[in-house]
Amino acid sequence: MLIPAIVDVAAKNADWQAFVFSSLLTGLVGMLLSIAVGGSLSKGLDTRQTFILTTLAWASLPAFGALPFLWLGIGYADAVFEAVSGFTTTGSTVLSGLDNLPPGLLVWRSIMQWMGGVGIIVMAIVLLPFLRIGGMQLFQSENSDRSEKIVSRSVELIRLLGLAYLFLTVLCIVAYLATGFDLFDAFNHALTTISTGGYSTHDQSFGYFTNPASGWVAVVFMLIGAMPFVLLIQALRGQPLVLWRDPQVRALVGFLIIVSLLLTVYLGVKMRFPFDEALLRATFNVISIVTGTGYALGDYTEWGPPVIGLALLLKFVGGCTGSTTGGIKVFRFLVFFGTVRAHLRRMVRPNRVMSEEYGGTRLTQELSFSVLAFLVVYLGSVGVITLALSFFDLDLVTAVSAAATSVGNVGPGLGPIIGPAGNFAPLPDGAKWLLSFAMLMGRLELFTVLVLLDPDFWSR
**How far, in Å, CA of 69 to CA of 356, rounded?**
50
Q: What residues contact residue 332 under an 8 Å CB cut-off, 6+ apart?
A: 134, 135, 371, 374, 375
Q: Who's near 118: CB < 8 A, 6+ residues apart?
A: 161, 162, 165, 195, 324
- How would you label 360-379 residue by residue, b for 16+ Cβ within 10 Å and e otherwise? eeebeeebbebbbebbebbe
CA dihedral 457, 126, 58, 193 (to 10 degrees): -150
Question: From CA 286, how far away is CA 197, in angstroms rounded?
Answer: 15
Distances (CA, A) of 409 to 78, 115, 116, 196, 291: 17, 15, 12, 10, 9
Burial of 44 by CB count in 10 Å (0-12 exposed, 13-18 middle, 19+ buried)? middle
**Region class of 22: left (phi > 0), else alpha (psi between -120 and 50), else beta:** alpha
Q: Could you tell me if 323 and 225 are in contact, meaning their C-beta atoms sit under 8 angstroms apart?
A: yes
Q: What b/e readout covers 239-272, taking b as 16+ CB neighbours within 10 angstroms?
A: eeebbeebbbbebbbebbeebbeebbebbbeeee
Distance CA 290, CA 319 (A): 7
Provide the annotated binding site for K(+): 89-90, 197, 293, 409-410
Binding residues, as ranges, are 89-90, 197, 293, 409-410
For residue 217, the one-letter residue type is: V
List Cα–Cα distances, 339 to 336, 363, 372, 378, 389, in angstroms.
5, 8, 9, 18, 34
* Sign of the torsion formed by the C-alpha atoms of 245, 135, 236 and 234: negative
| Three-class HEC string of 264-313 | HHHHHHHCCCCHHHHHHHHHHHHHHHHCCCCCCCCCHHHHCHHHHHHHHH
